[in-house]
């Protein structure tokens, strides 16, 4: 019998040692020993499953990966040092020079840089569709297109893409569907259920959830992960055993943490929606969200990110940040601490106003990563900063 989500997150464990420890210990070892020549030969020939070297695998990283595989309903996976190394290694392993990607324009900043500045070095180019132009995707597909790439919900505007529809298009044209599921976590959304071939996470965000370590993971079909694994074990973007140990513990509480994050975020969204200095609030589980129905179809809850448009544009956005007392001004998200960013003056300040608008970033857009502090304290801080 397969366990439920919360049980897998807690009960999947690496084998106990002779010390009968209850909680998985930290395996800080770069390599592993063999019993004899035959054991060594068979291990290298992959005739037996055995850890050889921690760039390939390690009990801590395996435990972490096995949990994510179970939580996402995948066949296999590999853990990376960061979310970006998971994104890069997936492209590098699955594409050849001359291949083409179709991607949503609203993707994480570094992913956008990878697609526009670095992959073209190997003659791998990308065509973009806007969030409300899913019907244009088929016009962008070329004979050499291999991957359809998207995030949902998107960063920072919290737009939702219809995963079922993306999968239909991908399957019709023989493309691999690769989904960055970071904002949803494996708890809120499982893209594989909707047909995704590879699911990527930055474990740095809600999976750690406490702002401590970086990490990434890619899970999906066995034969694709095998390619990603072979690329990675030779190029070296592996997750450290220490980070895997931290992240595997974090997964034990993912469901309860994310439940509370979502409860707080919905309350923040409802508060903002009723405020006179706020123009527009975007939260997937608010009825006013343009893709509310799709969000309800594919997500368990709305996530912890709320985006809103402050009246008064760039200046009002900056002033709001300066008046915030408790919430942190920081680049991370998915922390226990509520974090506020103003993309137009920070993460996306290098883009022209026009390019920003294309990804849904207006000058007054504020992104709140709602944390786990008491909801009254979060709302009170926002309330006093909105009085201007």
Ligand X SMILES: *Cc1c(COP(=O)(O)O)cnc(C)c1O
List contacts with ligand X (CB under 6 A). Answer: 82-84, 108, 110-111, 151, 155, 180, 182-183, 202, 204-205, 214, 216
Q: What is the dihedral of CA 249, 253, 211, 161, to 10 degrees?
A: 120
Give the DSSP letter of residue 118.
I
CB of 277 to ligand X, least distance (A): 28
CB of 162 to ligand X, least distance (A): 18
Q: In terms of residues, how long is the chain? A: 388
CB of 386 to ligand X, least distance (A): 26
CB of 254 to ligand X, least distance (A): 16
Q: Identify the CA nearest to 143 among candidates 91, 98, 95.
A: 98
Q: Identify the CA nearest to 227 among candidates 50, 78, 68.
A: 78
Q: Identify the CA nearest to 285 among candidates 259, 311, 252, 309.
A: 259
Secondary structure of residue 365 in the 3-state scheme? strand
- Cβ nearer to ligand X, comparing 151 with 309: 151
- Cβ nearer to ligand X, comparing 110 with 277: 110
- Burial environment of residue 227 by CB neighbours within 10 A (0 to 12, 13 to 18, 19 or more): middle
CB of 135 to ligand X, least distance (A): 24
End-to-end Cα, the chain, rounded Å: 57
- Cβ nearer to ligand X, comparing 247 with 278: 247
Torsion region of 195: left, alpha or beta (phi above 0 gives left; psi -120 to 50 gives alpha): left
- Cβ nearer to ligand X, comparing 159 with 180: 180
Residue nearest to ligand X (CB): 83
Secondary structure of residue 334 in the 3-state scheme? coil
- Cβ nearer to ligand X, comparing 146 with 201: 201
- Cβ nearer to ligand X, comparing 95 with 158: 158
Pairing between β-strand 216-220 and β-strand 328-329 as defined by DSSP bridges? unpaired
Q: Identify the CA nearest to 162 among candidates 198, 187, 184, 194.
A: 194
- Cβ nearer to ligand X, comparing 175 with 213: 213
CB of 207 to ligand X, least distance (A): 10
CB of 224 to ligand X, least distance (A): 19
CB of 132 to ligand X, least distance (A): 19
- Cβ nearer to ligand X, comparing 8 with 204: 204
Q: Is the dihedral of CA 151, 156, 159, 160 positive or negative?
A: positive
Cβ-proximal residues to 302 (8 Å cutoff; 6+ apart), any chain: 262, 265, 266, 269, 283, 284, 285, 286, 295
Phi/psi at 201 (5° precision): -130, 140
């Amino acid at each position: 019998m397969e366990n439920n989500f919360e049980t897998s997150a807690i009960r999947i464990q690496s084998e106990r040692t002779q010390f009968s420890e209850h909680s998985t210990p930290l395996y800080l070892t770069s390599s592993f020993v063999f019993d004899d020549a035959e054991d060594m030969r068979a291990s290298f020939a992959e005739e037996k499953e055995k850890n050889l070297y921690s760039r390939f695998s390690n009990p801590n990283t395996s435990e972490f990966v096995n949990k994510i595989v179970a939580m996402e309903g995948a066949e296999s996976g590999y853990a990376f040092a960061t979310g970006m190394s998971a994104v890069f290694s997936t492209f590098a392993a699955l594409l050849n020079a001359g291949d083409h990607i179709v991607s949503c324009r609203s993707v994480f900043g570094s992913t956008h840089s990878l697609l526009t500045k670095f992959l073209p070095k190997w003659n791998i180019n990308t065509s973009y569709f806007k969030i409300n132009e899913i019907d244009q995707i088929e016009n962008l597909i070329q004979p050499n297109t291999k991957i359809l790439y998207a995030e949902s919900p998107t960063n920072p505007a919290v737009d939702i893409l219809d995963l079922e529809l993306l999968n239909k298009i991908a399957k019709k044209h023989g493309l691999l569907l690769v989904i960055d599921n970071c904002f949803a976590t494996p708890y809120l959304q499982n893209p594989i259920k909707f047909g995704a071939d590879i699911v990527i996470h930055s474990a740095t965000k809600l999976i750690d959830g406490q702002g401590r370590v970086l990490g990434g993971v890619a899970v999906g079909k066995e034969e694709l992960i095998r390619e990603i694994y072979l690329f990675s074990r030779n190029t070296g973007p592996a997750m450290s055993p220490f980070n895997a140990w931290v992240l595997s513990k974090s997964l034990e509480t993912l469901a309860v943490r994310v439940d509370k994050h979502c409860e707080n975020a919905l309350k923040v969204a409802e508060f903002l929606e009723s405020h006179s200095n706020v123009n527009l609030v975007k939260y997937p589980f608010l009825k006013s969200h343009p893709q509310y129905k799709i969000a309800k179809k594919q997500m368990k809850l709305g996530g912890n990110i709320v985006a809103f448009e402050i009246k008064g544009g760039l200046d009002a956005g900056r002033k709001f940040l300066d008046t915030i007392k408790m919430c942190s001004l920081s680049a991370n998200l998915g922390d226990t601490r509520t974090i506020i960013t103003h993309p137009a003056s920070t993460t996306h300040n290098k883009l022209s106003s026009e390019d920003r608008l294309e990804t849904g970033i207006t000058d007054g857009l504020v992104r709140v990563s709602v944390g786990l502090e008491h909801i009254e304290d979060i709302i009170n801080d926002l309330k006093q900063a909105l009085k201007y």
